[in-house]
Structure 1
Amino acid sequence: MAGHSKWANIQHRKGKQDKLRSKMFSKLSKEITVAAKMGEPDVDKNPRLRLAVKAAKSLSMPKDVIDRAIKKSQTGDAADYTEIRYEGYGPGGIAIIVEAMTDNLNRTASNVRSYFSKCGGNMGQTGSVSHGFDRVGEISYPVEAGDGDTVMMAALEAGADDVESNEDGHWIYCAMDALNEVSEALEKDLGESSESKLIWKPQVVTEVDLETAQKLMRLIDTLEEDDDVQDVTHNFDIPEDVAAQLEE
């Protein structure tokens, strides 16, 4: 089994989620409102809303904030957001997918294009890099859920396609339209997951050196700072020796 991306691990160790917690709350609140507006404001009847609420809870978002975001979808206060995907290349030719939710397409497109340009990359056309990724469901579990073999067996029985495990946890992958079904089946054997979501999974990852890693981190941080950007995906990996230098 291949190890999960070291980039994800270094983000965790550097406490990035804590640093961006308030911004993540804002973005997740937007996703919850949009999900509830597009479907039903009931997590049991709305798979997208259920995933959004689970993501919010994984970051310890207060229940009253979640409830407010759901209620907002049923009032005239909810803005009309458009979901859009931008694709491009970062330093070193690394493929990057940017998913955004905006009430002003011109503003968001202009901002994202400028981030790529200022950070040594360039924005391409839709489809220019996504062909190198698979759209799949990802379900993550902490290492305490069990050893690799136990998790692998539970995942296969639940209908998953692949599992990656290392000392930091387990990541289970399945077809995008099977995410809720597989997630619910896994809960019976492994308990509640840390997170369940749809992702762009790179078909091939590229290891980068220290200089390129630093430039890519700057671009990704800049993109994630934008209020309209919901998620940023890439296809690079950081070797352990480079990761150690980044943490110094």
Structure 2
Amino acid sequence: MGRIFEKRKHKMFARFDRMAKAFTRIGKDIAIAVKQAGPLPENNPKLRLAMQNAKGLNMPKDKVEAAIKRASSKEEKDFQEVTYEGYAPHGVPLMVECATDNPTRTVANVRLHFSKNGGAMGNSGSVAFLFERKGVFKFDPTKLNLDELELDLIDAGAEDIERNDEELVIYTKFTEFGHMLKFLESKGLEAKSSELHYIPTTTKELSEEQQDEVLKLVETLESDDDVQAVYHNLA
């Protein structure tokens, strides 16, 4: 009984950690958007997008409003968006997206995470060619009628559409991301998340033990406060 309770407690804390990390990531997205184009969503498409993604994560409205207010303050730090590249153990390429107020600190920490977990940080362009930058739009499948909208979605830039019982995912080319956003806004369709991701062009098969080594580095990077997302090509 005690062991079962410990497992449940571990899962609960892990879920809270993921939620806290997601809220922090959205908070930085909001800060960057406000610094770039102001605090009014109607005049700031990037802020509208961040607020929509916050809603998809069930981030409380008061937290979103507080993040906008903080970002509007002159005292709020400026965040820079930077991407680092490298290899995890067994030659698995990684793209590490960060939002930081101190790039010197961030690059040092990211390099340390790579070296302490059997990886190696690379130069700009060292692994980016193994990924494609794509728009990824995730929906509750019960809230989007694919039979009615599929042709319109393709006209709006949908390159691929995947559906299962839990999620409907639309992929676009990087250049069509804004076009799809405008189409969804015009139809009043709200995605759970609308983001640009690095999608691997090929995938790599590893043993379970080797995968664990790779994922240990990925999880370490993801736990860093400056890291927004980590992409890899594990199958």
Q: TM-score of the superposition, structure 1-length normalised?
A: 0.80
**Paired position in structure 1 for 2:35:** 37
Deviation of 1:89 after TM superposition, in Å, equals 0.7
**Paired position in structure 2 for 1:84:** 82
Q: Which letter does structure 2 place at the counterpart of 1:203?
A: T
What SS does structure 1 have at the residue aligned with 2:43? Answer: coil
Counterpart CA distance in 1 for 2:102 and 2:191 is 35
Question: Relative to 1, partners in 2 of residues 1:187 and 1:84: Cα closer, same or farther, differing over 3 Å?
Answer: closer
What SS does structure 1 have at the residue aligned with 2:24? Answer: helix
Aligned positions, number: 225
**Paired position in structure 2 for 1:201:** 199
1:98 aligns with 2:96: yes
When structure 1 is superposed on structure 2, of 205-214 and 145-154 the one drifting more is 145-154
**Paired position in structure 2 for 1:8:** none
What SS does structure 1 have at the residue aligned with 2:82? Answer: strand
Q: TM-score of the superposition, structure 2-length normalised?
A: 0.84
What SS does structure 2 have at the residue aligned with 1:66? Answer: helix
Residues 13-33 of structure 1: CA deviation (Å, up to 9, x unaligned): 999654321222122212201
**Paired position in structure 1 for 2:60:** 62
Q: Which letter does structure 1 place at the counterpart of 2:223?
A: E
1:216 aligns with 2:218: no
Counterpart CA distance in 1 for 2:148 and 2:88 is 38
Question: Relative to 1, partners in 2 of residues 1:77 and 1:217: Cα closer, same or farther, differing over 3 Å?
Answer: same
Deviation of 1:166 after TM superposition, in Å, equals 3.6
Unpaired runs of 5+ residues, structure 2, are: 1-10
**Paired position in structure 2 for 1:226:** 224
**Paired position in structure 2 for 1:9:** none
Unpaired runs of 5+ residues, structure 1, are: 1-12, 238-248
Q: Is the 8 A contact 1:141 1:171 kept in 2?
A: yes
Question: Relative to 1, partners in 2 of residues 1:189 and 1:68: Cα closer, same or farther, differing over 3 Å?
Answer: closer
**Paired position in structure 2 for 1:73:** 71
Question: Relative to 1, partners in 2 of residues 1:64 and 1:35: Cα closer, same or farther, differing over 3 Å?
Answer: same
Within 5 Å, which residues of 2 pair with 1:1-248? 18-145=16-143, 152-186=150-184, 191-237=189-235
Q: Is the 8 A contact 1:145 1:151 kept in 2?
A: no
Counterpart CA distance in 2 for 1:189 and 1:17 is 33
When structure 1 is superposed on structure 2, of 16-25 and 29-38 the one drifting more is 16-25
Counterpart CA distance in 2 for 1:199 and 1:106 is 24
